[in-house]
């Protein structure tokens, strides 16, 4: 493992059944297509000895910790999306947290908002971030922009291991990220990056 990868973390964002599976309450239409690429990115990160951080949404069954605009989803007899302990909050098939990897629970778009992610990464000596997951205009974008604001010297979003509801929305958000200095490699480009 080179020094570069020891200082790099892969953030896997919201690859949960309620966001990815067809018919899920918050399904991101492009999410299912990126599952193989996210699996591959995780495999490569592990081979490189990188820290893998699993960023997930988990909510109170009554929705007391969700954004105001989503509270209506928690007011019926059926559980709302990504309730802690419910099947919809689980990672999609093919993604498994390994020993030594880190699970971070968030309740807002950004993985940094009201969490201890920044201090955790600092303590781990991380200065570079690679982002995969869903969805590009919300959780991916907000996490990326917060990482830039927090002065991480290198932030990357793998373009074909991130997804949105449509290719157009995805492309527009990738364009915005590029304009603030975020690297946007394809999975193949990232996998072939020099050790």
| DSSP bridge partners of 163 | 134
> What pLDDT does 76 receive?
79
pTM: 0.96
**What does residue 43 show for φ and ψ, rounded to 5 degrees?**
-60, -45
> What pLDDT does 78 receive?
78
CATH for 180? 3.40.50.850
> What pLDDT does 108 receive?
97
> What pLDDT does 1 receive?
57
Catalytic-labelled residue, pool 65, 103, 123, 139: 139
Q: pLDDT tens for the chain, 195 residues: list them.
A: 588 899 999 999 999 999 999 999 999 999 999 999 999 999 999 999 999 999 999 999 999 999 999 999 998 777 899 999 999 999 999 999 999 999 999 999 999 999 999 999 999 999 999 999 999 999 999 999 999 999 999 999 999 999 999 999 999 999 999 999 999 999 999 999 875
Catalytic-labelled residue, pool 18, 106, 146, 160: 106
Tell whether 116 is covered by a domain. Answer: yes
Active site residue 106: yes
The full DSSP string for 77-90 is SS--TTBTTSGGGS
HEC per residue, 119-132: HHHHHCCCCEEEEE
168 Cβ neighbours under 8 A, 6+ residues apart = none
Tell whether 73 is covered by a domain. Answer: no
Active site residue 14: yes
Tell whether 66 is covered by a domain. Answer: no
Catalytic-labelled residue, pool 14, 18, 146, 160: 14
> What pLDDT does 195 receive?
56
Q: What is the domain range of residue 156?
A: 3-56+92-191
Instruction: Provide the domain count of the chain.
Output: 1
Tell whether 77 is covered by a domain. Answer: no
Tell whether 142 is covered by a domain. Answer: yes
Tell whether 149 is covered by a domain. Answer: yes
């Amino acid at each position: 493992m080179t020094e570069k990868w020891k200082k790099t973390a892969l953030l896997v964002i919201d690859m949960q059944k309620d966001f990815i599976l067809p018919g899920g309450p918050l399904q991101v239409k492009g999410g299912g297509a990126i599952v193989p690429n996210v699996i591959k990115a995780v495999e490569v990160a592990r081979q490189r000895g990188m820290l893998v951080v699993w960023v997930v949404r988990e909510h109170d069954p009554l929705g007391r910790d969700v954004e105001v605009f989503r509270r209506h989803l928690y007011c019926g007899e059926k559980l709302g999306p990504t309730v802690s302990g419910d099947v919809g909050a689980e990672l999609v098939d093919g993604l498994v947290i390994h020993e030594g990897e880190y699970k971070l629970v968030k309740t807002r778009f950004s993985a940094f908002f009201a969490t201890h992610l920044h201090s955790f990464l600092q303590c781990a000596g991380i200065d570079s971030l690679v982002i995969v997951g869903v969805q590009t205009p919300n959780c991916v974008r907000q996490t990326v922009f917060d990482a830039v604001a927090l002065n991480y010297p290198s932030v990357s979003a793998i373009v074909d291991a991130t997804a949105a509801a449509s290719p157009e929305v995805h492309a527009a958000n990738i364009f915005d990220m590029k304009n603030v200095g975020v690297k946007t490699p394809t999975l193949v480009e990232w996998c072939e990056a020099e050790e």
